[in-house]
Amino acid sequence: MATTDEPALRVVAWHMLKQALEQKLRERAAVNNDTWEVALDGKAQLCFDQAGLTLQPIRSLFGESVPGVTTLTVKQSVWYEGLWLELKVKHDTPLPLPLFTKLQARLAESEANGEASNEPTFEAKLDLEESLSFEHSLDLQEFPEWIVEMVRKTVEGVRLLQRH
């Protein structure tokens, strides 16, 4: 239990993560012609609830051959459990079986220990952070390092799913 957790520090971390992800996605857009919408949950949710960021590519994450809407979320656990982050991916249709099988194998082998299902729609989950507590004594100088690592893990998760 993270009874020493400072929920207000979560809000700071989430805003920093949102800005860093938007920057990274803009850089990728210049190269890959990908456009993303990024939305952050409200302050009260970020302090105490299972909340976070929603990332939505303008086009299907899986390319033109797999039309549909893909939504990615980076969510935290509730504050009293410590900070557990995971990346969830939902596509509003099932993926073609060969693609699903390939992605399922990649997810299982990834450092994020991912898993996926394909019925009735495609869903995947990757662990990003096992446990972190935003305690009052936390050195704010550590935030940028943590942000860089979370951006790296999130973007790596996106790349893992996009490669096919």
Position 67 in a domain: yes
Full pLDDT tens readout for the chain, 164 residues: 355 667 778 888 889 999 999 999 988 876 777 789 999 999 988 888 888 999 999 888 998 889 999 999 999 887 676 678 899 999 999 999 999 999 999 988 887 788 999 999 999 999 888 666 666 666 777 778 888 889 999 999 888 888 65
Position 1 in a domain: no
Residue 116: the pLDDT is 94
Position 110 in a domain: yes
Position 139 in a domain: yes
- Tokens 């495609």 sit on residue: 122
CB-neighbour burial class of residue 139 (10 A; exposed 0-12, middle 13-18, buried 19+): exposed
Q: Report H helices in the chain.
A: 7-32, 43-48, 97-109, 143-162
Nearest partner of 36 among 23, 25, 24, judged by Cα: 25
Residue 4: the pLDDT is 66
Domain range for 41 is: 7-162
141: Cβ contacts below 8 Å, ≥ 6 apart: none
Q: In this structure, which amino acid lies at residue 123? A: E
Position 76 in a domain: yes
Provide the number of structural domains found in the chain: 1
Position 2 in a domain: no
The pTM of the full predicted model, rounded to 2 decimals, is 0.86
